[in-house]
Amino acid sequence: MHQPKSKHRRRTRLVHAGHDLETSQGFVNVPAVRGSTVLYPDTATMKNAAQRYTYGTHGTPTTDALASAWSELAGAAGTALVPSGLAAIAMALQTAVKAGDHLLMTDSAYGPARRFAEKVLRPLGIETTYYDPEIGSGIAALMRDNTTAILTEAPGSQSMEMQDIPAIAEAAHARGICVIMDNTWATPLLFPPHERGVDLAIEAGTKYLSGHSDLLLGLVSANAAWWPRLHAYVDLYGIPPGPEDCFLALRGLRTMELRLKEAERQALELARWLETRPEVARVIHPALPHHPGHAIWKRDFLGSSGLFSVILKPASEAAVAAMLDGLDLFGLGYSWGGYESLIIPFDCTTYRTATRWVQNGPALRLQVGLEDVEDLREDLARGFERLTAYNL
Ligand SMILES: *Cc1c(COP(=O)(O)O)cnc(C)c1O
User: What confidence category does residue 23 fall into, taking pLDDT thresholds of 50, 70 and 90?
Assistant: confident
What is the rounded distance in angstroms from the CA atom of residue 61 to the CA atom of residue 3? 16
Question: Which DSSP letter does residue 276 get?
Answer: T
Q: Which stretches of the chain are DSSP H helices?
A: 10-16, 21-24, 43-47, 61-74, 85-96, 111-116, 165-173, 187-190, 227-237, 243-254, 256-275, 294-300, 317-325, 373-391
pLDDT at residue 359 is higher than 90: no
For residue 86, the CA-to-ligand 1 centroid distance in Å is 6
Ligand 1 within 6 A of CB of 218 = yes
Phi/psi for 86 (5° steps) reads -65, -40
CATH topology of domain 7-253: Aspartate Aminotransferase; domain 2 (3.40.640)
For residue 279, the CA-to-ligand 1 centroid distance in Å is 30
Q: In the predicted model, what is the mean pLDDT of the chain?
A: 95
What is the rounded distance in angstroms from the CA atom of residue 156 to the CA atom of residue 168? 15
pLDDT at residue 227 is higher than 60: yes
pLDDT at residue 25 is higher than 90: no
Residue 232's contacts (CB-CB under 8 Å, 6 or more residues apart) are none
Ligand 1 within 6 A of CB of 206 = yes
145-201 confidence digits (pLDDT tens):
999 999 999 999 999 999 999 999 999 999 999 999 999 999 999 999 999 999 999
Ligand 1 within 6 A of CB of 188 = no
% residues pLDDT > 70 (the chain): 98
What is the rounded distance in angstroms from the CA atom of residue 221 to the CA atom of residue 78? 6
Ligand 1 within 6 A of CB of 86 = yes
Ligand 1 within 6 A of CB of 182 = yes
204-219 confidence digits (pLDDT tens):
999 999 999 999 999 9
The burial of 330, by beta-carbon neighbours within 10 Å (0-12 exposed, 13-18 middle, 19 or more buried), is given as: buried
Mean pLDDT of 327-333: 97
For residue 182, the CA-to-ligand 1 centroid distance in Å is 9
Ligand 1 within 6 A of CB of 90 = no
What does the pLDDT read at residue 22? 83
Q: Which residues pair with 204 in a beta bridge?
A: 218
What does the pLDDT read at residue 221? 98
Domain 257-391, classified CATH 3.40.50.620, yes or no? no
pLDDT at residue 7 is higher than 80: no
What does the pLDDT read at residue 1? 39
Q: Whose CA is nearest to atom 4 of ligand 1?
A: 85
What does the pLDDT read at residue 21? 83
278-317 confidence digits (pLDDT tens):
999 999 999 999 999 999 999 999 999 999 999 999 999 9
Domain limits, the chain: 7-253, 257-391
Fold match flag (7-253 vs 257-391)? no
Between 22 and 58, the more confident residue is 58
